[in-house]
């Protein structure tokens, strides 16, 4: 059974701080990695994708991938109250059933003004 | 605008009743998925379909059925055999054959047993 693990939180950070969200996965054949943000009662929306080892930056968001350690993280700089949401880590293989997205249970982030 | 449309947004089911959730996409995506989300939980895969007229069970398919007669449509039926159907249901789609693309989600259907 392929698994994606996240700390459920809640993770509480003050406004303007850096929020660090972590995710580990069990399948070494995983090819692509995603971070989704989900507000309460809403559907997930993609905020970052990463496919190769290293860092990928997009505005206030940085995704980090380490395939050797089977670890992916998301950093949110200058956190805002509007960033308060549940963040879902998702992992995908390649082709056929391996291409299905496997989700973690999510980390709830709370940014305090 | 391209996207995925789920309907209805809210659905109430009586005990022993079958209900069908609609999912339509105009993204020309090959693969479509149904996920279930319970409070405080991640997304669990119910069924997926990679091409028309073919679909596969996910991790929690018992009590559910699907069809894929058209590329654009992937309806989910929650049958009376599903004993605890109250949940948030999400439909998603991806381009198949390319391993790196993300899933696009519909707005979800919240199903409640009354």
**A83 by DSSP, 3-state: which?**
helix
pLDDT per residue as tens digits for the range A20-78: 999 999 988 888 999 999 999 999 999 999 999 999 999 999 999 999 999 999 999 99
Cβ distance B42 to A88 less than 8 Å, yes or no, reads: yes
Q: How far is CA A102 from CA A106, B44, B113, in A?
A: 12, 8, 27
H-type helices in B42-85, by residue range?
none
Q: Which residue of A has its CA nearest to B107?
A: A43
Strand partners, B78: B19, B64
Q: Which residues of B79-106 are buried (b: 16+ CB within 10 A; e: fewer)?
A: eeebeebebbbbbbbbbbeebbbbbbbb
Looking at residues B11-39, what average pLDDT do you find? Answer: 93
> What's the pLDDT tens digit per position in B55-91?
999 989 999 999 999 999 999 999 998 889 999 999 9
A98, A101, A106, A108: best mutation site toward chain B, by most B Cβ within 10 Å? A101
Chain-centre distance for alpha carbon A39: 14
Is pLDDT of A9 > 90? no
């Amino acid at each position: 059974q392929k698994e994606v693990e996240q700390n459920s939180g809640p993770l509480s950070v003050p406004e303007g701080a850096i929020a660090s969200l972590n995710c580990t996965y069990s399948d070494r054949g995983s090819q692509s990695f995603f971070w989704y943000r989900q507000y309460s009662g809403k559907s997930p929306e993609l905020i970052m994708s990463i496919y190769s080892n290293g860092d990928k930056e997009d505005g206030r968001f940085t995704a980090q991938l380490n395939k050797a350690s089977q670890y992916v993280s998301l950093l949110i700089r200058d956190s805002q109250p509007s960033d308060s949401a549940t963040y879902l880590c998702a992992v995908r293989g390649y082709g056929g059933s391996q291409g299905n997205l496997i989700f973690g249970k999510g980390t709830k982030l709370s940014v305090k003004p | 605008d391209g996207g995925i449309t789920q309907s209805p947004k809210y659905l109430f089911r009586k005990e022993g009743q079958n209900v069908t959730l609609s999912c339509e996409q105009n993204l020309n995506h090959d693969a479509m998925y149904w996920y279930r989300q319970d409070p405080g939980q991640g997304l669990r895969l119910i069924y997926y379909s990679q091409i028309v007229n073919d679909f596969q069970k996910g991790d929690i398919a018992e009590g559910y059925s699907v069809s894929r007669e058209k590329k654009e449509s992937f309806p989910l039926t929650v049958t009376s055999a599903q004993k605890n159907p109250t949940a948030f249901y999400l439909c998603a789609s991806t381009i198949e054959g390319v391993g790196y693309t993300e899933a696009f989600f519909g707005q979800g259907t919240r199903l409640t047993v009354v």
